[in-house]
Amino acid sequence: MNIQNQIIEDTLETSIFSLGRPIIDSPIQALTGIQSPYCVSDDERILVNIDYQTWKIRSETNRSPASFELAGPRSKIFFDPSKVKCAIVTCGGLCPGLNDIIRSIVLELNYAYGVKNVQGIKYGLQGFIPDYHHELIQLTPERVESIHALGGSILGSSRERQDVKTIVHTLDRLNIGILFMVGGDGTLTAANQVAEEIEKNGLKISIVGIPKTIDNDIFMISRSFGFDTAVEHAATAIRSAHAEAAGYPNGIGLLKLMGRNSGFIAATAALAQQDVNFVLIPEVDFDLYGEGGFFSALKKRLLDRKHAVVVVAEGAGRKFFSDDPDNIKKNDIGLFLKDEIMDYFHHQSIKINLKFIDPSYIIRSLPANSNDHAFCNFLGRDAVHAGMAGKSRLIIGYWNDRFVHIPLNLCAGKRKHIQPRSKIWASVLESTGQGELIG
C-alpha cells in the first residue's frame, strides 16, 4: 500500500446518513420465504483496501481499517410501503443500461415491497422545474416490462443545472419519500446539494444515487454500468478500423472513443481487441512532432507494416487546443488528429489512406449487453433496499466484488483516472509497443 492510498483511506468518512430508526418489519422475507440470512445488517462491512500491507499497518497500530456498509435488504424498514411515494430521474448523457435501472427499481418496489406509487421525472432535473411543464410518468410493472430491450432512457435526460431549492420544493409538493437519481459526476454533485437542502428544511426524503458513467470514471466506484457494453462495441469498431487500415497501402484506421476525462474505454477496448498500435488518452501526455513523437512513431509503423490503427479518447491532447483547452466539444481531437496526420504525411510526400471512425453516439444509445443487464438489476434492487430502510445521501457502488453503500460526498466532484504507472496502462504499452510518444 503506498503512502497516497494510506492517506486517502485514513481520511475516508464512510458512515451513511439515516432519516430515522427503521421500525417496520420488512415484507421482503415473507415474500422470498428466506429467513434472516438474506437480510444484512449495518454492521456487515466491506474493506476499502484488502491489501496485505494495509492489514499489517492497521494491526500494528490497532486501528480499524476503513470499510463500506454492505448493500442489501434490511429486516426493518423506515418507510411504510402502503404510503410512500417514490420518484426516479435520469440525468446527463445517455448510457447503455438506463432503462434496466428504471425497470429494476420499479419491479423491486412493486413486487418486493408492495410500493405502487412510482413516478418518473421527465428530462432530468428539468422535470422538477414547473416552467418546463414536463409531465410525470406513472411507472408501473406493465409500463417497464420490456424497456430493458431499448436503448436510451424512457424518461429522457438533460444536462443543465437547476435551482436546488425549486427541486426540493417540488419533491415536498409531490410528497416524494424516496428519490432515485441516476447520473454521473454532475448528477451526484447535484444529489448531494439536494440532500443538504432537504436536511435544512427538516424533510424526511431519502436521496439514493446510482452512479452512471459510460467512461467508468466515478471516484471510489470500481465498476459502473454501461462500461462493459461500451467496451464490447468499441472492440467491434476496432475490428472495423483494422480491416479498413489493412485493406489499403499505408492505411490508417483512426478511431475516436468516449473518455472526456479518463481513458478507460480506449485502454480496455484496445486490450480486448489487440489490433491497436497507438492508444491516446487524457491521462498520458504525448507530442505530435519530434524524434520520439506520435508522428515519427506512426511513420515508422507504416514503413514497417504498411498499416496502423490509432485509438484516441475524446479528452486526449487538450494541450493542442490552447484557445480553450477545456472545451472538448468545440475542439474535437479526432478531427484534429485526422487533419494533422494528413498534413504531416503530405509534407513527407507519403501517400496514406486514412479512415476516421467515431461510433460514440451509436454506442451510448445502445441497449445494455447481458453482463450490464445483470449488473443493473443488482444496482436497482440494492438502491430500493437502501431507500426503503431510510438511508439517504448515498450511492450504490461496487467495491471489492460487492455492492456497498458509499456516501455521496465521497464521490461528488471527484473522478477516477488511469494512472500512468498502473497495470492497465503498462499492458496497453506492451500490447501496442507505442512507447512514450514524447518528442
Q: Could you give the residue numbers annotated as active site?
A: 215
CA distance 166 to 221: 30
Name the CA dihedral angle for 386, 391, 397, 401, rounded to a multiple of 10 degrees. -60
Q: Are 253 and 303 in contact (CB under 8 A)?
A: no
CA atoms within 13 A on the CB side of 405: 33
All residues at 6 or more sequence positions from 85 whose CB lies less than 8 Å from its CB, including other chains: 117, 118, 119, 174, 175, 176, 177
CA distance 393 to 188: 10
**SS3 label, residue 159:** coil
What beta strand segments (E) does 316-432 contain? 353-357, 391-392, 394-399, 402-407
Name the CA dihedral angle for 144, 146, 148, 151, rounded to a multiple of 10 degrees. -100
Joined grid coordinates for residue 379: 444496482
CA atoms within 13 A on the CB side of 33: 0
Using the 8-state DSSP alphabet, how is residue 434 labeled? -
Q: Are 382 and 72 in contact (CB under 8 A)?
A: yes
Residue 353 bridge partners (DSSP): 251
Which residue type does 99 have? N
Q: Are 43 and 16 in contact (CB under 8 A)?
A: no
Joined grid coordinates for residue 360: 460514440
The pair phi, psi for residue 434, each rounded to 5°, is -75, -20
Which residue type does 368 have? A
CA distance 99 to 149: 8
Nearest to 229 by CA among 44, 121, 94, 90: 94
Q: At what angle do helices 164-173 and 185-200 cross, to 10 degrees?
A: 60
